[in-house]
Amino acid sequence: MASAATTLSSEPKKLHASDISSIKDFAELNKDSLIPSNYYSITEPRDDVVDELAASIPVIDFSLLTSGDPQIHSKAVHELGKACAEWGFFMLTNHEISENLMADVMKKSHEFHGMPLEEKEEFGDKGPFTPIRHGTSFFPQAEEVHYWRDYLKVITFPEFSFPHKPPGYKEVAFEYSRKIKGVASNLLQGISESLGLESNSIIDSTGFDSGLQIFVVNLYPPCPQPELALGMPPHSDHGFFTLLTQNGIGGLQVKHDGKWVNVNPLPKSLIVNIGDQLEVVSNGRYRSVLHRAILNNRETRISVVLANGPAIDKEVAPAPKLLEKEKSLFKSIKYQDYFELQQKSRLSGKGGLDHIRINAQN
């Protein structure tokens, strides 16, 4: 069978992401063309994916974690800690967020990205702390390679912002973001306990109750040459953890034991990624997971991701109790500074953590 590259017309051009306001619109107008050469980002062979590990992805039952039965709760806390230590990633079931609400969020997110570009231009990305921002790729100004992705990013906590269109989106997003905040708070309590800390230790020390929450909607349109491009490169997330749902189209991969693993979510589940701030607070016991978004040439993938982190004015450092018998692996840093560092840099691996990592020779 001929490769996609041999059947497409024209020569690859080099276009800066600033020349493309929406990869969705660009893809629709250039279905039979080679992708721009500076969207070539595949550097690892696709045979680095290990399908048999997909069934081993941990599953955490939220109803057991929040159980009032001490034995059931204790066992769930242990399983949560194990998932954080071994994978930095898990699927969350029985999380009490209704299937109808999740479906409504996905429907309205699809409607937003389906609006004409001129209706979204008022939400142009002006910087990491712009309450509502719409754009393409990740941070084009710092990128040599761009990504086949459009996004909507909205700050939904501690103050709620959201686009006023399409009708009904704001109301659905408000309810969903508050539900996710509650789930995230319970997860953080369980994680604290799994580290041998008081259940509210991390919540209190990092100001999580007034912490930053970012509501992100990623759109990955069909790509004529999915073997060459990525929707998002390998990276870790900046906060404590992100909770993700998607429209049923695969594309998320996580790195485990040096291999990429396809993520096939269980029905009605949420996908949870451990982020950089949890690696810092746990002093490396729990590691943020590298993940990426691959593409296909047939269907549009949409993911709704809510990143939950500390309060922006809080200094984040390893929990003092964990340093009683071990050295600190990370320098403390104000979360606002860390967030800006990650959002204004070329997205690459765990570059943010490397910036604050303490050299073992020091």
- How far apart CA 105 and CA 174 sit, in angstroms, is 10
Which residues on adjacent β-strands are paired with residue 193?
none
This prediction has a pTM of 0.91
352 touches 276 (CB < 8 A): yes
Mean pLDDT on 91-109: 98
Give the pLDDT band (50/70/90) at residue 350.
confident
Q: Classify the C-alpha dihedral 91-93-97-98 as positive or negative.
A: positive
Which residues on adjacent β-strands are paired with residue 119?
none
Mean pLDDT on 119-147: 81
> Among 25-34, 216-225, 275-284, which stretch is predicted with the lowest mean pLDDT?
25-34
pLDDT at residue 4 tops 60? no
* Distances 42 to 62, 67, 182, 224, 249 between C-alpha atoms, Å: 36, 44, 37, 14, 20
Joined tokens for residue 255:
């790195």
77 touches 62 (CB < 8 A): no
Query: What pLDDT sits at residue 262?
Result: 95
Query: What pLDDT sits at residue 48?
Result: 78
pLDDT at residue 216 tops 60? yes
Give the pLDDT band (50/70/90) at residue 46.
low
Give the pLDDT band (50/70/90) at residue 14.
low
> At 12, which amino acid appears?
P
pLDDT at residue 360 tops 80? no
pLDDT at residue 171 tops 90? yes
